[in-house]
Amino acid sequence: MKNKLFLSFLLVITIIVFALNFRVFNSYVDQYIILGDINNGTFNFLEQSENMEVDFPNFSVTSMNLKAVKAKYLIEQKKDDEALELLNSIKYDPLMMSESQKAQIYLEKKLLDSMFISATKSWKRLPLNQGHLIWYLKALNLFGQNKEIIKIYDITKNKKVNRKWLYFYFVTVFGNMDETNRDVIKKQARETLYQYKSLNDQELNTILYYILYGEDEYKNSIEFSKDGSKMFDSSEYLEAAKLYRRAKENFPLNPDYYYNQMASLFQASNFEKTINIFKTIPDSINPKNGKFEFLVAKAYLKLDDTINTCDYFKKSKELKFEPSIAYFNKLCGN
Amino acid sequence: MENKLNYCLILLYLITGFIPNLGAVDRIATHWLYLNLISVLSIVFFIYKSNSKEGLKISSNKPLIIFLIFFIWSILSLFYSINITESLISLIRLFSVILATYLIGLHLMEIKSLKLIFILFFFPILIIEILLPSFKFFQIISYVDYSFAYANDLKTFTPNKNITAAIITSHLGFIFFIKYYLKKFEWLLLILVFIASCVITFISARASIIGLVLSLSLVYIITFLKKKENLFFLRKVILVVGTGFFLSSLYLGSNNDASIQNRLTSINTDDASTNQRIRFYKHGIKHMINNPIIGIGIGNWKFKSIEYDSKDIQSYIVPYHLHNDFLQYGAETGFIGMFLYLLLFLILLLINIKRIDSNYFLSISLIISVTVFFVDSNLNFPHHRPIMMILLAFIIALTELNRVRNIEK
């Protein structure tokens, strides 16, 4: 009897626990879509967001305050006042996601001082979060604090930073480049280009090239290259070589411009110059895929320099450039 | 009095980890809910169907008492918790485990022999757990050369390769008790141990490899000191595990990043995952030293960790767990909480060591499981996963049965 009473008591408690766990489960089902929205920048949960659970649990599995998450949907629906009221009711938000959203609303309402305070708070909590960074950069920009903007880069020292973060940072500093900060920004861009070159991120690289060589110069180099290709296609090789040289002068980091200039000179039977251009390629930008060495070997072949021909076919072969294998075996096999 | 429903409900508890997520962002929510459902059914069963008058004497079940004291101490953390809601969620989960432990204990007490439980339930489950990643492995190598990059594909029945490896390793200890009942099939058990060792190597889960080596060393020493006559089978198991590790490493080659040599030598300060763990541990220890009596409240480390790690957090990727359950409970509930949770493992180990003379195979099985669980708790976060905590519930319930009954007569 005593046992049954104890078990009945346990049953009541367990049913309550079950009900609470069921509430958590339902929230986790919603969070499946919500977290997808946050990660992908979509709003698939928008229609159901009105009834979103924000009290039990009050945080997502990823430690986001669910009121701050709900506010995101309200902002999307242009319900700024409702969103702000919800954000102001948050007592604890360790990620400061709510401050980042407040900054967005304050900017909309032209309350710039409040925007600055919220953006600063959110960025100081998570300096490597690109979302928080964007609002902080906007705030600093609005108040013309260019020196502060450039200091932001210092937090990346000895840290691996998200490529989007770097992109947003450099886009902002590029817009603020002047005589007083040009050298510092260029130094930062060079460092980033060196540290993150393995990412091969087109978006990030482009903005870094703009900073290092100038937007016009970079764009011109693309134009010269396009024109050079047209000339090459119409067999005007010397003219093509000239255009590729100009592309290279405008943007010397692209190894393709060197290769195309070499190929044009080769087609124009200017073999010595083809070899000389190869010698000017900085080692840091040589892709070391054997393609350049193959062309040099062919140039030496035309010049009847057997020793250098075999030497370069061998180098190309070692860099796993397949066409060189047959040449090497045929010409240098013995 | 034995009832078929006892078996059914035990089986339902055992398959907790195989329940799909049913649309939840993390399957733990589904598993906790499922666990509560089975507990409700179990209680209803004990109220209406069971004729047992024996019951489970909680007062003499030391591990359960320690677990209960830890639970009560955690309830007190509600008074200082940063986020009470999150603490409540953690408490109801802790309650669910303790309740399951109690109810599994009741079921086991009503069952006369563990033979059916181990042969019909544990054994097939272990086979499935070992074979699922093995099939996946063969599927992978039919397309590409295997490397560490594919290790996570071997997770199969859990959401993470480390959990899969921990589950296999801690269940592997039960091979000893299964051998007690299936003496004629010793060869089959050794084949399973061999495949499991290979799977663990391919998964490259360092905590499981360390746990298995440590636990086998421990049971070897204990057997050597207390039950020399049982060394023969144990030596065979150790030899098979060693061969499994050796041959799978040989297959991978010394240059393969999944090989044991490379995985274990990567436990140094240059390894990103190790660096991250060391950083988390430092945060946890620092917090405990500054707050020795009261922590931040049960379940609240995932918030406090943001403050400690904020300068390194990219996007919204937060260190939710400290990757050491003892330190995490210490940071959340103070030194007393950490000590109580540590004591639970120590008591489990001591009780089973004491019972080696009476129930050798069951004791050895439980010592291996507790040791593997302990090592995993030091490097991962099994407290968060019902699939692991239900194993702890079984370990506690079986340890109590081991203490009160002479099973291997």
State ipTM.
Answer: 0.93
Nearest chain A residue to B33 by CA: give it.
Answer: A21
Which of B28, B34, B38, B47 is the best residue to mutate to test the A interface, defined by the most A CB atoms within 10 Å of its own CB?
Answer: B47
Contacts of B25 in chain A (CB under 8 A): 28-29, 31-32, 35, 61
Which pLDDT does position B137 carry in this prediction?
A: 95
Where do the H-state alpha helices sit in chain A? 2-40, 66-76, 80-88, 97-108, 112-125, 130-142, 146-152, 163-175, 182-195, 202-213, 215-233, 237-250, 255-267, 271-279, 291-302, 306-318, 323-332
Residue A20 near chain B (CB below 8 Å): yes
Task: State the nearest Cα–Cα gap between B239 and chain A, in angstroms.
Answer: 43
Whether residue B40 and residue A127 make contact (CB cut-off 8 A), yes or no, is no
- Residue-level pLDDT at A136: 96
Quick check: helix, strand or coil at residue A318?
helix
Say which range, A314-323, B123-132, B282-291, has the weakest mean pLDDT.
Answer: A314-323
- Give the global pTM: 0.85
CA distance A220 to chain B (A): 36
3-state helix, strand, coil in chain B (%, to 5): 75, 0, 25
Intra-chain end-to-end CA distance of chain B, in Å: 21
Whether A158 and chain B come into contact, CB under 8 Å, resolves to no
CA dihedral angle for residue A129, residue A135, residue A136, residue A139, rounded to 10 degrees: 180
Q: Is the pLDDT of residue B269 over 60?
A: no
Minimum distance, in Å, between the CA of residue A50 and any CA atom of chain B = 19
* Residue B322: closest CA among B340, B296, B346: B296
Interchain contact A194–B (C-beta under 8 A): no
* pLDDT per position as a tens digit, A84-123: 999 999 999 999 999 999 999 999 999 999 999 999 999 9
**Which tokens hold the place of B152?**
């996570």
Residue B220 has pLDDT above 70, yes or no: yes
Between positions 257 and 276 of A, the ones with CB within 8 A of B are none
Q: Under 8 Å CB-to-CB from B190, ≥6 apart: which residues? A: B236, B237, B240
Of A14, A32, A59, the CB nearest to B43: A14
Question: How close is the nearest chain B Cα to the Cα of A3, in Å?
Answer: 8
Determine the residue among B50, B81, B83, B84 to mutate to test chain A binding: the one whose Cβ has the most chain A Cβ atoms within 10 Å: B83
pLDDT over 80 (residue B50): no
Q: Who among A7, A57, A162 is closest to B314 (CB)?
A: A162
pLDDT of residue B259: 63
What is the number of CB-based contacts under 8 A between chain A and chain B? 130
What is residue B408's predicted lDDT score, i.e. its pLDDT? 87
Q: Does A152 touch chain B (CB under 8 A)?
A: no
- Distance from C-alpha of A83 to C-alpha of A105, rounded to nearest angstrom: 8
User: Residue A58 above 80 pLDDT?
Assistant: yes
Predicted local distance difference test score (pLDDT) of residue A36: 94
Query: Angle formed by the axes of helices A215-233 and A237-250, to 10°?
Result: 170
Residue B1's pLDDT band (boundaries 50, 70, 90)?
Answer: low
Q: Which residue of A has its CA nearest to B41?
A: A11
B43 to A11: CB separation less than 8 angstroms, yes or no? yes
Could you report the per-residue pLDDT of B302-341, keeping only the tens digit for each?
999 999 999 888 888 888 899 999 999 999 999 999 999 9
Mean pLDDT estimate for chain B = 92
The pLDDT score that the predictor gives to residue B147 is 84
What percent of chain A is predicted at pLDDT more than 70?
A: 99
Tell me what the mean pLDDT of segment B367-386 comes to: 96
Answer whether residue A200 shows pLDDT above 80.
no
- Residue B337, min C-alpha distance to chain A (Å): 23
- Which of B30, B46, B303 is closest, CB to CB, to A63? B303
